[in-house]
């Protein structure tokens, strides 16, 4: 897969649950994600991970910005944060809110990527591409 920015159609093919989100919003957020990942001629990502990284980051940002009404983890159409407590008998779920007690300053996840499934998958790709120095 060459270094090509994914299209709106490719994004919806991969993540059809975002079909209710306006194309202009998806395009704007994807442009922001490209700014983070890098333009095709100025990126350090492995070629096969370039498009998936952009699409995962786009999906993460759309989720935390509340673009999926009725989404699990959404309250009134807004993202409620990661689940911090679950209870099966008598069903109880507690969400950590946008900052989940860390006000976005978590030392290991300052951008809140771990708050969505898309962000966690983006982190895995990022760690695979930027693993750091090899220590022997």
pLDDT at position 75: 42
Reported as type and span, the H/E element at residue 92 is strand 92-95
pTM, to two decimals: 0.72
Residue 120: HSE in the Cβ half-sphere, 13 Å Cα cutoff? 5
Q: What is the pLDDT of residue 76?
A: 41
Are residues 36 and 57 in contact, defined by beta-carbon separation less than 8 angstroms? Answer: yes
Instruction: Check whether 85 has a pLDDT greater than 80.
Output: no
Mean pLDDT of the chain: 81
90 or 52: which leads in pLDDT: 52
The tens digit of pLDDT for each residue in 11-22 reads 999 999 999 999
pLDDT of residue 36: 93
pLDDT in the model for residue 88: 72
Q: Tell me what the mean pLDDT of segment 45-74 comes to.
A: 86
Closest CA to 61 of 134, 23, 112: 112
At residue 80, the pLDDT reads 55
Q: Check residue 23 and give its pLDDT.
A: 97
Q: What is the largest CA-CA distance in the chain?
A: 54
The residue ranking higher by pLDDT, 11 or 81, is: 11
User: Between these two residues, 107 and 126, which has the higher pLDDT value?
Assistant: 126
Residue closest to 116 by CA, chosen among 92, 95, 91, 131: 95
| The dihedral formed by the CA atoms of 12, 14, 15 and 17, expressed in degrees to the nearest 10 | 70
d(CA 53, CA 67): 19
Number of C-beta neighbours around residue 83 at 10 A: 14
What are the boundaries of each domain within the chain? 8-129
The radius of gyration computed from the CA coordinates of the chain, to the nearest angstrom, equals 16
């Amino acid at each position: 897969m060459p270094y090509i920015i994914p299209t709106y159609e490719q994004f919806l093919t991969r993540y059809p649950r975002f079909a209710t989100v306006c194309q202009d919003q998806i395009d704007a957020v994807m442009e922001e994600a490209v700014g983070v990942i890098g333009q095709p001629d100025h990126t350090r990502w492995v070629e096969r991970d370039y498009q998936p990284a952009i699409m995962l980051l786009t999906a993460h940002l759309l989720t935390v910005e509340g673009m999926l009404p009725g989404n699990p983890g959404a309250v009134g159409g807004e993202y409620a944060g990661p689940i911090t407590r679950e209870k099966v008998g008598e069903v109880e779920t507690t969400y950590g809110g946008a900052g989940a007690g860390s006000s976005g300053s978590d030392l290991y996840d300052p951008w809140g990527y771990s708050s969505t499934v898309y962000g966690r998958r983006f982190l895995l790709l990022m760690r695979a591409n930027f693993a750091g120095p090899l220590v022997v």
